[in-house]
Amino acid sequence: MHVLLTAGPTYEPLDPVRFLGNRSTGKMGYALAEAFAAIGATVTLVSGPVQLPAPTNPLIRTVRVETAEQMYAAAAEAAPSADVWVFAAAVADYRPAHVAAEKIKKSGDTLTLELVKNVDIAATLGHTKRAEQFSVGFALETTNELAHAQDKLRRKGFDLVVLNSLRDAGAGFGHDTNKVTVLAATGQIVNFELQSKADLAHDLVGLIMGRLKLAI
Protein backbone atom coordinates (compact mmCIF):
# COMPACT_ATOMS: atom_id res chain seq x y z
CA MET A 1 0.00 0.00 0.00
CA HIS A 2 1.24 3.49 -0.87
CA VAL A 3 0.19 6.46 1.26
CA LEU A 4 0.46 10.13 0.30
CA LEU A 5 0.62 12.21 3.48
CA THR A 6 0.98 15.99 3.84
CA ALA A 7 2.17 17.46 7.13
CA GLY A 8 3.22 20.69 8.80
CA PRO A 9 2.57 24.31 7.83
CA THR A 10 3.31 26.20 4.66
CA TYR A 11 5.28 29.45 4.67
CA GLU A 12 4.26 32.07 2.13
CA PRO A 13 7.12 34.57 1.59
CA LEU A 14 6.51 38.27 1.95
CA ASP A 15 10.12 39.35 1.44
CA PRO A 16 13.52 37.63 1.87
CA VAL A 17 13.16 37.53 5.68
CA ARG A 18 9.43 37.43 6.41
CA PHE A 19 6.60 35.04 5.64
CA LEU A 20 2.95 34.32 6.41
CA GLY A 21 2.52 31.02 8.25
CA ASN A 22 0.71 29.25 11.04
CA ARG A 23 1.42 27.38 14.28
CA SER A 24 1.39 23.82 12.91
CA THR A 25 4.32 21.72 14.17
CA GLY A 26 3.76 18.70 11.89
CA LYS A 27 3.76 16.33 14.88
CA MET A 28 0.45 14.67 14.00
CA GLY A 29 1.39 14.17 10.36
CA TYR A 30 4.81 12.74 11.21
CA ALA A 31 3.23 10.39 13.76
CA LEU A 32 0.82 9.18 11.08
CA ALA A 33 3.70 8.57 8.67
CA GLU A 34 5.42 6.38 11.28
CA ALA A 35 2.16 4.55 12.06
CA PHE A 36 1.52 3.73 8.39
CA ALA A 37 5.11 2.56 7.94
CA ALA A 38 4.74 0.37 11.03
CA ILE A 39 2.07 -1.70 9.22
CA GLY A 40 4.26 -2.01 6.13
CA ALA A 41 2.91 0.81 3.96
CA THR A 42 5.24 2.94 1.87
CA VAL A 43 4.72 6.61 2.63
CA THR A 44 5.41 9.74 0.61
CA LEU A 45 5.56 12.40 3.32
CA VAL A 46 5.24 15.87 1.84
CA SER A 47 6.42 18.06 4.69
CA GLY A 48 6.22 21.78 5.14
CA PRO A 49 8.93 23.54 7.22
CA VAL A 50 9.00 21.85 10.65
CA GLN A 51 11.48 21.51 13.52
CA LEU A 52 11.24 17.72 13.62
CA PRO A 53 13.87 15.08 12.86
CA ALA A 54 13.44 13.36 9.51
CA PRO A 55 11.81 9.94 9.80
CA THR A 56 14.37 7.14 9.71
CA ASN A 57 12.04 4.34 8.64
CA PRO A 58 13.13 3.33 5.11
CA LEU A 59 9.47 3.01 4.07
CA ILE A 60 9.03 6.78 4.49
CA ARG A 61 10.25 9.10 1.71
CA THR A 62 10.22 12.71 2.86
CA VAL A 63 9.73 15.51 0.32
CA ARG A 64 10.42 18.89 1.90
CA VAL A 65 8.57 21.95 0.63
CA GLU A 66 7.89 25.45 1.87
CA THR A 67 4.94 27.03 0.06
CA ALA A 68 1.44 25.82 -0.74
CA GLU A 69 2.27 25.77 -4.45
CA GLN A 70 5.29 23.56 -3.80
CA MET A 71 3.23 21.25 -1.58
CA TYR A 72 0.58 20.94 -4.28
CA ALA A 73 3.18 20.08 -6.93
CA ALA A 74 4.74 17.36 -4.75
CA ALA A 75 1.36 15.96 -3.72
CA ALA A 76 0.08 15.95 -7.30
CA GLU A 77 3.12 13.95 -8.39
CA ALA A 78 2.55 11.27 -5.74
CA ALA A 79 -1.27 11.16 -5.76
CA PRO A 80 -1.91 9.01 -8.86
CA SER A 81 0.04 6.04 -7.47
CA ALA A 82 -1.15 6.37 -3.86
CA ASP A 83 -3.88 4.14 -2.46
CA VAL A 84 -4.54 6.44 0.51
CA TRP A 85 -4.34 10.23 0.67
CA VAL A 86 -4.04 11.90 4.08
CA PHE A 87 -4.06 15.70 4.09
CA ALA A 88 -2.80 16.55 7.58
CA ALA A 89 -0.91 19.72 6.62
CA ALA A 90 -2.11 23.17 7.64
CA VAL A 91 -1.87 24.84 4.25
CA ALA A 92 -2.08 28.63 4.02
CA ASP A 93 -5.30 29.67 2.30
CA TYR A 94 -3.73 32.86 0.94
CA ARG A 95 -0.28 34.14 -0.06
CA PRO A 96 1.07 37.66 -0.71
CA ALA A 97 0.26 38.82 -4.23
CA HIS A 98 3.75 40.29 -4.52
CA VAL A 99 6.98 39.12 -2.90
CA ALA A 100 9.41 41.97 -2.30
CA ALA A 101 12.92 41.39 -3.64
CA GLU A 102 14.42 43.25 -0.67
CA LYS A 103 13.42 43.47 3.00
CA ILE A 104 10.39 45.72 3.41
CA LYS A 105 11.48 48.70 5.50
CA LYS A 106 9.32 50.19 8.22
CA SER A 107 7.51 53.23 6.88
CA GLY A 108 4.35 54.88 8.17
CA ASP A 109 1.89 53.64 10.77
CA THR A 110 0.20 50.99 8.63
CA LEU A 111 1.12 48.43 6.00
CA THR A 112 -1.43 47.01 3.59
CA LEU A 113 -0.88 43.58 2.08
CA GLU A 114 -2.68 42.24 -0.95
CA LEU A 115 -3.30 38.50 -0.66
CA VAL A 116 -4.35 36.01 -3.32
CA LYS A 117 -5.89 32.60 -2.82
CA ASN A 118 -3.69 29.52 -2.84
CA VAL A 119 -4.62 26.31 -4.60
CA ASP A 120 -6.86 24.08 -2.48
CA ILE A 121 -4.70 20.96 -2.60
CA ALA A 122 -7.23 18.45 -1.30
CA ALA A 123 -10.14 19.78 -3.34
CA THR A 124 -8.11 20.03 -6.56
CA LEU A 125 -6.69 16.52 -6.24
CA GLY A 126 -10.14 15.30 -5.24
CA HIS A 127 -11.31 15.90 -8.81
CA THR A 128 -8.81 13.27 -9.98
CA LYS A 129 -9.52 10.73 -7.23
CA ARG A 130 -10.38 7.25 -8.45
CA ALA A 131 -13.09 5.14 -6.84
CA GLU A 132 -10.56 2.77 -5.28
CA GLN A 133 -8.54 5.56 -3.65
CA PHE A 134 -9.28 6.61 -0.05
CA SER A 135 -9.01 10.24 1.03
CA VAL A 136 -8.71 11.63 4.56
CA GLY A 137 -8.77 15.31 5.47
CA PHE A 138 -8.10 17.23 8.66
CA ALA A 139 -10.13 20.16 9.97
CA LEU A 140 -9.05 22.53 12.74
CA GLU A 141 -11.99 24.62 13.90
CA THR A 142 -12.79 27.13 16.64
CA THR A 143 -16.57 27.49 16.24
CA ASN A 144 -19.42 25.34 14.84
CA GLU A 145 -16.89 22.55 14.61
CA LEU A 146 -19.10 19.67 13.44
CA ALA A 147 -20.95 21.77 10.87
CA HIS A 148 -17.71 23.07 9.33
CA ALA A 149 -16.15 19.59 9.29
CA GLN A 150 -19.23 18.06 7.64
CA ASP A 151 -19.17 20.80 5.02
CA LYS A 152 -15.49 20.09 4.30
CA LEU A 153 -16.26 16.36 4.08
CA ARG A 154 -18.84 17.02 1.35
CA ARG A 155 -17.04 19.77 -0.57
CA LYS A 156 -13.70 18.01 -0.86
CA GLY A 157 -14.95 14.49 -1.45
CA PHE A 158 -13.21 13.02 1.61
CA ASP A 159 -14.00 9.56 2.90
CA LEU A 160 -13.06 10.69 6.43
CA VAL A 161 -12.44 14.02 8.13
CA VAL A 162 -10.44 14.23 11.35
CA LEU A 163 -11.75 17.17 13.38
CA ASN A 164 -9.63 19.09 15.90
CA SER A 165 -11.08 21.82 18.09
CA LEU A 166 -8.84 24.49 19.58
CA ARG A 167 -11.33 24.65 22.46
CA ASP A 168 -10.16 21.21 23.64
CA ALA A 169 -7.32 21.52 26.16
CA GLY A 170 -4.19 19.67 25.06
CA ALA A 171 -5.35 19.31 21.46
CA GLY A 172 -4.32 20.93 18.20
CA PHE A 173 -1.12 22.83 17.41
CA GLY A 174 1.93 22.73 19.67
CA HIS A 175 0.94 19.76 21.83
CA ASP A 176 2.25 16.22 22.04
CA THR A 177 -1.33 15.08 22.69
CA ASN A 178 -4.50 15.33 20.66
CA LYS A 179 -8.23 14.73 20.90
CA VAL A 180 -10.24 14.31 17.69
CA THR A 181 -13.60 13.44 16.24
CA VAL A 182 -13.64 11.48 12.99
CA LEU A 183 -16.54 12.01 10.59
CA ALA A 184 -17.21 9.53 7.80
CA ALA A 185 -18.87 10.19 4.47
CA THR A 186 -21.24 7.34 5.33
CA GLY A 187 -22.48 9.29 8.36
CA GLN A 188 -20.71 7.63 11.27
CA ILE A 189 -18.88 9.66 13.91
CA VAL A 190 -16.05 8.24 16.06
CA ASN A 191 -14.55 10.09 19.04
CA PHE A 192 -10.99 9.61 20.26
CA GLU A 193 -10.24 10.98 23.72
CA LEU A 194 -7.06 12.86 24.64
CA GLN A 195 -3.94 10.76 24.13
CA SER A 196 -0.45 11.07 22.71
CA LYS A 197 -0.27 11.89 19.03
CA ALA A 198 1.75 8.71 18.48
CA ASP A 199 -1.00 6.56 20.03
CA LEU A 200 -3.72 8.48 18.21
CA ALA A 201 -1.88 7.98 14.91
CA HIS A 202 -1.98 4.20 15.38
CA ASP A 203 -5.71 4.40 16.22
CA LEU A 204 -6.40 6.48 13.12
CA VAL A 205 -4.43 4.14 10.88
CA GLY A 206 -6.41 1.23 12.33
CA LEU A 207 -9.66 3.06 11.59
CA ILE A 208 -8.58 3.86 8.03
CA MET A 209 -7.53 0.26 7.40
CA GLY A 210 -10.86 -0.95 8.72
CA ARG A 211 -12.71 1.39 6.36
CA LEU A 212 -10.59 0.19 3.45
CA LYS A 213 -11.49 -3.43 4.16
CA LEU A 214 -15.17 -2.51 4.20
CA ALA A 215 -14.80 -0.80 0.81
CA ILE A 216 -13.12 -3.76 -0.88
Catalytic hit among 22, 144, 178, 191:
22
Catalytic residue check, 178: no
- Rounded Cα distance between 70 and 64, Å, is 9
**Cβ proximity of 1 and 40 under 8 Å:** yes
**Cβ proximity of 161 and 185 under 8 Å:** no
Q: Classify residue 196 by burial, with Cβ atoms within 10 Å: 0-12, 13-18, 19+.
A: middle
Listed residue (215, 85, 204, 212) closest to 156, CA to CA: 85
**Cβ proximity of 38 and 60 under 8 Å:** no
**Cβ atoms within 10 Å of 193's Cβ, excluding its own:** 9
Give catalytic residue positions. 22
